[in-house]
Amino acid sequence: MRGLPKLDEPVRYAGLYVFDFGDSVAVGYTAHEIGVLLESEKYADGKAYKIHRAYPDGRLELKGVSSVRFRAEDGFFFYRREASEARRDFDELKRLAETTQPPCRCKLHLAKIAGATTPDVVALIYPAEYGDEMSAWLEQVGYDGGDIVEGGPSQVTDYYQARTTRLDAHQMWGTLDETSRPAEEVLASTHLVVQR
């Protein structure tokens, strides 16, 4: 990867992304914006790095992120033995999200899975790249739903393939999504080495 540009306030870039176009590098993308770049034909071969830590002296700790991760979904599944408890979990998570927004867009489902030992489930499904942020958010808001809790991309696949009856659904929008620019703007500003 080519050298990174000098950043005026490097600490504020923690949690954002660096994109290596091959012939240049740009700093300051959101996960959503990286997804836009990777979905474009022109930049599909680019490489993304998440800024895990940024220091006042300008050093950045980067972690490479597979392009597949930006296209995948992850999730948490909170299973209950009683339908009324699952309903309470769903309503509580929805209330918590209204008070303290999650970091990214999420789908919240209340569902019943045919043939399951614990058939009533609250499913929280989100883009896989936000796994760490979503775990931290659930801890921050103190959510403790479910008799049994499972998570991961394979659980999302299993959920979609199960004989599921969706009883209720809610779309949540995240705080990090609000800072993402429209696709046209992201694609028009690839010449800038510092994106924000």
The whole-number pLDDT of residue 137 equals 96
Per-residue pLDDT tens digits for 87-136: 999 999 999 999 999 998 899 999 999 988 899 999 999 999 889 889 99
Instruction: Decide if pLDDT at 62 tops 80.
Output: yes
User: Helix (H, G, I), strand (E, B), or coil: what is residue 83?
Assistant: helix
**What is the residue range of 55's domain?**
10-70+181-188
Tally of domains within the chain: 2
CA distances for 129 relative to 11, 28, 67, angstroms: 21, 16, 10
- 31: tokens are 């996960």
Same domain, 170 and 88: yes
DSSP state string for 145-167? --SEEEESHHHHHHHHHS-EEEE
Task: Report the predicted TM-score, pTM, of the whole model to 2 decimal places.
Answer: 0.77
Is 136 among the domain residues?
Answer: yes
What is the C-alpha separation between 98 and 143, in angstroms, rounded?
Answer: 13
Same domain, 82 and 158: yes
178 pLDDT tier (thresholds 50, 70, 90): low
Same domain, 172 and 83: yes
Instruction: Decide if pLDDT at 29 tops 90.
Output: yes
Instruction: Decide if pLDDT at 174 tops 80.
Output: no
What is the C-alpha separation between 173 and 50, in angstroms, rounded?
Answer: 21
| CATH value at residue 150 | 3.30.70
What is the C-alpha separation between 14 and 91, in angstroms, rounded?
Answer: 32
Is 4 among the domain residues?
Answer: no
The whole-number pLDDT of residue 70 equals 78
Same domain, 86 and 162: yes
Pairing of strands 106-113, 47-54: unpaired
Scan for tokens 């979503």, then name that residue: 134
Same domain, 143 and 159: yes
41 pLDDT tier (thresholds 50, 70, 90): very high
Provide the CB-side half-sphere exposure for 59 (13 A, CA).
Answer: 4
| Closest C-alpha among 42, 35, 19 to residue 71 | 35
193 pLDDT tier (thresholds 50, 70, 90): very high
Provide the CB-side half-sphere exposure for 36 (13 A, CA).
Answer: 18
Same domain, 56 and 87: no
